[in-house]
Amino acid sequence: MTPLEQCAEHLCKLIAHQTVNPGGDELGLCKTLASQLGDFGADEVTVSTVERANNSSGAYVYASFGTPTLLLNVHLDTVPANSGWQRDPFVAEITKDRIYGLGSCDIKGAIAAILTALDSGKAHNLGILFSGDEENGSRCVPHFLANNDTSHIRQAVVCEPTARAAGLAHRGVLAYRARYIGKGGHSSKADHMEKPIVELSKLALQLDRIALEDLHKGPEGMKGLCMNVAMLTGGVAYNVVPDLGELSFSLRPAPGFDQAAFDARLERARRESHAKIEIAQITDHRPFHCEDEGAIRELVGSHTEQFVGLNFWTEAALLQAAGIDSVVIGPGDISQAHTADEYVLLEDLQWALEMFSEIIAKHET
């Protein structure tokens, strides 16, 4: 069996193990991976569970080979299968040039490549973190950082489908919920009653104005705020004045984002819309920018010619905030992630296998 065939076999088994988030069996897969990592000569392997806000459990497995100074991190959970699948999402299908299956691109292909690379030789001073809950909360990586000794880890490779490019920066994600609470009642009195939907609509227009003002601001390749006014809800019938309205919105700020200045603009928009509107932040994923680009370029530079900024958020931001210089790179294309009939190209798996084999073979300090 060739290394690529071995990698494909690993990936097929990973796809079959359902780790849909929420509701999937992250712990079961972590236990399976723990056994494999032990067989590959890890000095210590631990499996940890993490409680989520909805009382479900996420999990991660961490293996250390010596005293890790480099961390390889891949998330093992997937989003639910999108509508439109023409095949079973949990039964891998191998064709001449690709492998179909949920998570094949995002990002179980990288796990398969790392497992195959580890099978070719003993790792040195390396940490392997296969972590859950990336797709719906990101609680596992903070738990790992808080409960493990990472003082010797200087660099991290965070795997996401980047089409073989290396991400040295990416946008954050900030999400908010605005709420207007009124009294509600019969629509025959609507002219003289509070109007939650109308007032929140005014805020929606203010947010769009902010987005247009910043459309051409920001670093090259990441200009604008990606402001998304996503949902306006409230009311039960056309003849009932609603007593509650809610507006959900988000933005994806680039590195260098001035949070304090945005907060002030948001507060002005709130007041100009209606003073009774209350805004709460529900997601706070900050932007990422690698601090020591030179060392990261040396680590992965022979395997990519593209060092880019990414428009999607990753958990590299959490590792970088903990003082671990990080890069985002992996097989597959983000345009395939979260789609029906998701796939990864076999040539991408071959590329990832070669990259991880070289990193593992050369990393000794």
Mean pLDDT confidence for 159-172: 97
- Quick one: pLDDT at residue 106? 97
- Quick one: pLDDT at residue 56? 81
Specify the pairing of strand 126-131 against strand 70-75.
parallel
Percent of the chain with pLDDT over 70: 99
Which CATH number covers residue 232?
3.30.70.360
Give the model confidence (pLDDT) of 25-51 as tens digits. Answer: 999 999 999 999 999 999 999 999 999
Give the model confidence (pLDDT) of 349-360 as tens digits. Answer: 999 999 999 999
Residue 330 confidence class, pLDDT cut points 50, 70, 90 = very high
Asked if residue 362 has pLDDT above 90, the reply is no
**Sign of the CA dihedral 221, 223, 225, 231?**
negative
Residue 19 confidence class, pLDDT cut points 50, 70, 90 = very high
Does residue 299 share a domain with residue 274?
Answer: no
pTM: 0.91
The domain boundary residue, chosen from 285, 306, 327? 285
Asked if residue 332 has pLDDT above 70, the reply is yes
- Quick one: pLDDT at residue 364? 60
Does residue 103 share a domain with residue 49?
Answer: yes
How far apart are alpha carbons 152 and 71 in whole angstroms?
A: 10
Residue 82 confidence class, pLDDT cut points 50, 70, 90 = very high
Does residue 203 share a domain with residue 162?
Answer: no
Which CATH number covers residue 93?
3.40.630.10
List residues with catalytic annotation.
Answer: 134
Reported residue count of the chain is 365
Contact call for residues 141 and 158 (beta carbons, < 8 A): no
- Quick one: pLDDT at residue 55? 74
Asked if residue 53 has pLDDT above 80, the reply is no
Tally of domains within the chain: 2
The domain boundary residue, chosen from 285, 313, 331? 285
- Quick one: pLDDT at residue 67? 96
Give the model confidence (pLDDT) of 134-156 as tens digits. Answer: 998 899 999 999 999 999 999 99
Does residue 233 share a domain with residue 199?
Answer: yes
Mean pLDDT confidence for 250-274: 97
Does residue 221 share a domain with residue 111?
Answer: no
Q: For all residues of the chain together, what is the average pLDDT?
A: 95
Range scoring the smallest mean pLDDT among 79-83, 248-252, 360-364: 360-364
Phi-psi category of residue 55: left, alpha or beta, with phi > 0 → left and psi -120 to 50 → alpha: left
Does residue 291 share a domain with residue 280?
Answer: no
Asked if residue 54 has pLDDT above 90, the reply is no
Specify the pairing of strand 44-51 against strand 343-345.
unpaired
- Quick one: pLDDT at residue 122? 80
- Quick one: pLDDT at residue 52? 79
Instruction: Calculate Rg over the CA atoms of the chain.
Output: 23
Contact call for residues 39 and 49 (beta carbons, < 8 A): no
The domain boundary residue, chosen from 285, 315, 340? 285
Does residue 294 share a domain with residue 145?
Answer: yes
Does residue 119 share a domain with residue 251?
Answer: no
Give the model confidence (pLDDT) of 227-243 as tens digits. Answer: 999 999 999 999 999 99
Structure tokens at 131: 């972590």
- Quick one: pLDDT at residue 365? 52
Contact call for residues 141 and 315 (beta carbons, < 8 A): yes
Asked if residue 305 has pLDDT above 90, the reply is no
Asked if residue 121 has pLDDT above 90, the reply is no
Instruction: Give the H or E element holding residue 99.
Output: strand 98-100
Mean pLDDT confidence for 326-330: 98
Quote the domain boundaries for residue 75: 3-170+287-362
Mean pLDDT confidence for 190-206: 96
Contact call for residues 112 and 8 (beta carbons, < 8 A): yes
